[in-house]
Amino acid sequence: MSTTTAADLLSRADLLVRELRNSTDPVSLAEWERFDITAYRLLHQLVGPGRTSDDRTAVQAHAAVVRVLQNYPNPLRPPVGATTYSTRQAAQFLGLPREGVLHRIHRGHLPATTDGRSYAIAATDLDRRTDLGPADPSDPHPLPRLSCTFGALADLLVADRDRPVSVLHDDAQVAALMAHIITLTAVAARHTIGHCRVTDADRPLRVAQFTEHAVDALGTVGRPHGLDRIISTAPPDHPETLNERLEAALRTWANAGRDELNRTVPSTEVLRNIANQGMHIYAVTDRLLQAPGQHLATRQDQRPQVNRALREASEALRHADGQWAAVTTAMQPSHDYVAAARDLFTILKNIGRLDLVPVSSGHSEPPLDTEQALSDLNIASRDLADLMHEARHLPYLLIRSELLLSPAGTLKPTVEQLGDRAKGRYVAVDVTDLPNLAPTAHQAAEQSLRAADLLQAALARVNNRSIRCLPEM
């Protein structure tokens, strides 16, 4: 099984903490330090970069979680992915006041760059413990396994932060999840103090003291929700069943689509194909939702709302396809994307033709597990919404860069383009030539996101039943 969510990882961490409390095995300093750096990295990813807002309440909420992170006792290593730090952040790592960091910079003892107003210090110059690596997932002790779970959760959060709607954009949810993580860290620190050598207890004690103050500083928080929307998938390398082929095709196509949109000049053929594949995904999803014997976790009167959202999103994608059809960037799709799109089209077409009548007792198993297919299509709808979100700004970007072309004969005639019209040339378009392209792209992004949200809510029971967790560490 190859899909896991942030909710799965948090539940796994809870179970490992209970297992840790019942363990009598000693905890080595190396095991604790690996957990220490992973816990800090997870908290760092939760807080994320600073955000600007005109809402005073939002600014204060984000400042509260930042202060908690800043009080973490002298992190052993900068978190993975960190590049540069300010003098204030460097002071936390070095255990010095900010003036002490400035003194080291001025004396040449700490390399730093400046823009004339502030200093930037490379994370590598603050990394004093390069001997510390990630925990061993094969270690049977609960603490290394908890470290691996925290690390996997941090990786999921990194990927989720760039989504248009993310739990990490809501500081109330960040505070709730942060309080949960800090509570688990407190239990791990207390256990380590009682099961390590006395000479090694100083660092766990400092972290335990931090956790008590941090929970008080966060105050009353709610229960984190939306973690089941933070998903990681790893389709089978050699799919055999129809469900496995669907899962692999959806994932491969989504990854290939992201690669195409990240190109310096994306292909309009890819943009059209993403819209077309989206309509196909919605059509197959709608058909599976109506399959006999398929029961959703929603009330019967909520099904029309989901179906209507799928139809409206499909219509918005159809309009986007029509707008992109009128222009080109003269770029061809990559071979990888073409292969992924062709494979997905074939799989969806085959599923669309299946006889979905429930198999009675005594008959062979159906060729498709409908609930599992809906779970995979639900993930794909979220991927589709992300792709449309990334593509919504492309009309303005390509037009401003004069990279969006159209046959001169299809545009409003001007004196400057008479020669181009006569020779059938392509010319760069401007906003007045295609006034509906950008609004249509934004509408498609909004409708696909709405469809993904409603489908996620409707398939709550299906998703819970078809959870596919990480292998035992």
More confident residue, 268 or 233: 268
**pLDDT single digits (tens) 408-422:** 756 666 645 655 555
Q: Which two tokens stand for residue 207?
A: 């972290």
* Identity of the residue numbered 395: P
Report DSSP state, residue 331. Answer: -
* pLDDT band for position 455 (cuts 50, 70, 90): confident
Mean pLDDT for 371-375 is: 87
The ranges assigned to domains in the chain are 3-77+129-229, 235-465
**What does DSSP assign to residue 183?**
H
Using CA atoms, how far residue 179 sits from 8, 167, 320, 340, 459, in Å, is 17, 15, 43, 42, 28
Residues 6+ apart with CB under 8 A from 65: 46, 47, 171, 174, 175, 178, 218
pLDDT above 50: residue 216: yes
Long-range contacts at 456-460 (CB < 8 A, ≥ 24 apart): 456/228, 456/229, 456/378, 456/381, 456/382, 457/298, 458/289, 458/296, 458/297, 458/298, 458/302, 458/303, 458/306, 459/296, 459/297, 459/374, 459/375, 459/378, 460/297, 460/298
| Cα dihedral: 452, 453, 458, 461 (round 10) | 100
CA 85 and chain centroid, separation = 24
Task: Provide the pLDDT for residue 207.
Answer: 95
Strand partners, 131: none
Query: Whole-angstrom Cα distance, residue 252 to residue 269?
Result: 18
Contact predicate 410/326, CB 8 Å: yes
The whole-number pLDDT of residue 465 equals 41
Encode pLDDT of 151-186 as tens digits: 999 988 887 777 766 777 778 888 889 999 999 999
User: Under a CB-based contact definition with an 8 Å cutoff, are residues 304 and 458 in contact?
Assistant: no
Alpha-carbon distance of 319 to 341, in angstroms, equals 20
Which candidate, 162, 53, 55, 43, places its Cα nearest to that of 92?
43
Give the list of residues 6+ apart from residue 198 with CB closer than 8 angstroms, or none.
Answer: none
pLDDT of residue 466: 39
Say if CB 143 and CB 32 are below 8 A apart: yes
**Which distant-in-sequence residues (6+ apart) come within 8 Å of 472 by Cβ?**
none
- In this predicted structure, the answer to whether residue 43 has a pLDDT above a threshold of 50 is yes
- 32 and 204 Cβ atoms separated by less than 8 Å: yes
Q: Give the E-state strand segments of 155-249 in sequence order.
A: 231-233
Do residues 53 and 59 make contact, with C-beta atoms less than 8 angstroms apart?
yes
Tell me: pLDDT of 473 over 50: no
Does residue 300 have a pLDDT over 60?
no
